[in-house]
Structure 1
Amino acid sequence: MKKPLVDFEAFLMGLKPALYGTNASPNYMANFHLLERYPCVTKGINQHNDAEFFLFFQSEQMKEDFLKKLASVEHLSPEFHELLGLTLGYPPLAVKHFVKCRRLEGEKRMNEYEELFKHKVSFLYSGIRCGGHVNDLVENSVWLWERYYIKDEPFKIGMIEGDVIKYYEVKPFDFDGLERVRKRKLDLIK
């Protein structure tokens, strides 16, 4: 079975529009020398103060566009996370789901957050790792396939089953396979 691409590999191939990382990650630091030629932002993007964060872009124009948008959002706000998710090339519906979860969590609406979290599925494809709502499974999958298609690249959908995350592999544009995974997730929620 082919090993899935990781984010920095997809970025270096030109698939991923941006790459977000931290000096606390040995994987990023081992490959940092490959990224130094790309435009980078380090200010105003940190998730916490225990590490240095960086955001690499495919072009200077992409970096400048991001900085203009960053100037109009509050650091670590839901809007910040939305901007970051879209910049990193995640499906818009997946970003919307993540932002809604963050907003509920921030507002201490934990019952609503936990209910929404139960419906989460994860995607692993062509260097993209993100999550979304099970009801958006088809839309998010098609979005990823259309933008990041690589022949023979594994497309995996993950979900929490008991105490572990189990991944299901689906071939691109296999809608019957998506439906089986969707039903599995809904059965787990019941």
Structure 2
Amino acid sequence: MKKPLRDYEAFLMGLKPALFDSSNCVTFQKVSHLYKHYPCVTEGIHLHEEADFFLFFQTEQMKEEFLMKLATVNHLSPEFHELLGITLGYPPLAAKYFAECRRLEEVEKRINEYEELFKRKVSFVYSGIRCNGHVNDLVENSVWIWERYYIEDEPFKIGMIEDNIVRFYEVKPYDFDELERVKQRKLDLITKEQM
């Protein structure tokens, strides 16, 4: 079975609009020399103080547009995370879902609501994109990803937690019947958990 593209591979191929990495990542240490000609942001994007963070862009214009938007959000706020997700090429609904999880968990401290929302998480792995979204948005997020990052024979995987492990389901692009089966599987797991 073919391994999915890594995020840095998709970025270097010009598929991903931006690449976010940190100095404590082993992969970054091995391939960072490949990024020397790409526009980069290092200020105002760190997720923690234990590493240096880098946000590389395909073009200088993309970098400048990001910096203008970054100036309008508070660092590490849900809006910051949504902006980062969209900048990295994630589906807008997936970025919004992640931001809402952050809002409930960290900003508003509404842990029960966060846990309910988190139960509905599915993961997407395709063409260097690795993100999470709400199960109700599974079809929309999948189509969004396929329309932007389609590569023939690239495995598209949807992950979900089953019995305390992450299980991935492979779906062929635009196989809506299989998407619906995977979505229903997740909904059935949620129902089973609530019993």
TM-score range, shorter chain: over 0.9
Show CA shifts across 1:109-151 (max 9, x none). 0110000000000000000000000000000000000000000
- Equivalent residues in 2 for 1:78-93 (5 A)? 78-93=78-93
Q: TM-score, normalised by structure 2?
A: 0.96
1:144 is aligned to 2:140: no
Q: Secondary structure at the match of 1:145?
A: helix
Give, in whole Å, the separation in 2 of the partners of 1:79 and 1:184. 31
Deviation at 1:72, TM superposition (A): 1.3
Hey, what does 1:60 align to over in structure 2? 60
Name structure 1 gaps, 5 residues minimum: none
Hey, what does 1:129 align to over in structure 2? 130
Q: TM-score, normalised by structure 1?
A: 0.99
Hey, what does 1:10 align to over in structure 2? 10
Show CA shifts across 1:2-33 (max 9, x none). 11000000000000000000011001110101
Give, in whole Å, the separation in 1 of the partners of 2:46 and 2:59. 21
1:119 is aligned to 2:120: yes
Give, in whole Å, the separation in 2 of the partners of 1:54 and 1:135. 32
Give, in whole Å, the separation in 2 of the partners of 1:164 and 1:35. 34
Deviation at 1:36, TM superposition (A): 1.1
Letter in structure 2 aligned against 1:166 = R
Give, in whole Å, the separation in 1 of the partners of 2:3 and 2:11. 16
Hey, what does 1:70 align to over in structure 2? 70
Give, in whole Å, the separation in 1 of the partners of 2:45 and 2:166. 28
Letter in structure 2 aligned against 1:115 = E
Letter in structure 2 aligned against 1:40 = C
Hey, what does 1:154 align to over in structure 2? 155
Please report the RMSD computed on the Cα atoms of aligned residues, expressed in angstroms. 0.5
Hey, what does 2:51 align to over in structure 1? 51
Hey, what does 1:180 align to over in structure 2? 181
Hey, what does 1:41 align to over in structure 2? 41
Give, in whole Å, the separation in 2 of the partners of 1:62 and 1:29. 24
Residue correspondences, number:
190
Q: Secondary structure at the match of 2:76?
A: coil
Deviation at 1:71, TM superposition (A): 1.0
Deviation at 1:68, TM superposition (A): 0.9
